[in-house]
Structure 1
């Protein structure tokens, strides 16, 4: 019976280590669940970004914008291309150019 104290000490240490391992495993499982939830949220956000990029390319398309404009407004703009003025034309004094057009 001379080893009883050392056996009890080692068994209590093993029991303490078992409980600590269970505690750590529980915490890591919670962290793993949070990581999986974050991965799902990130994938949803990435999918929304892909959809927004597709919508952005459609909005840059002029025919799509014309169709969208015709849905919400009755009159269409007859000027398809705006009049582009070069710097030389702007610097000429003999020609009067209206830079701003105000609609009523």
Structure 2
């Protein structure tokens, strides 16, 4: 039986989400990337909630990416399906007292 990528959706990346939130988040682009298109439209129409929504989303994604780099596996920023995001701020992360590869890992 053939399985498609639709059966197993890929996790979204924190670094991509962070860049989108910082530079295009005022238009809701970060929300569209995460599959949250309804809130993406609302965020875009309100110009990032007059900047407040944009700031809060950016701070949350940055904090989430930082904590992931320090070993936290579950984050508070999720995609539309409720999945955790992948990857932290750097190529390596500190987890369980060890440095392990984060980017480019399978």
Q: TM-score, normalization: structure 1?
A: 0.26
- Structure number with greater Rg is 1
Higher strand share: 2
User: More helix by proportion, 1 or 2?
Assistant: 1
TM-score of the pair, normalised by structure 2: 0.26
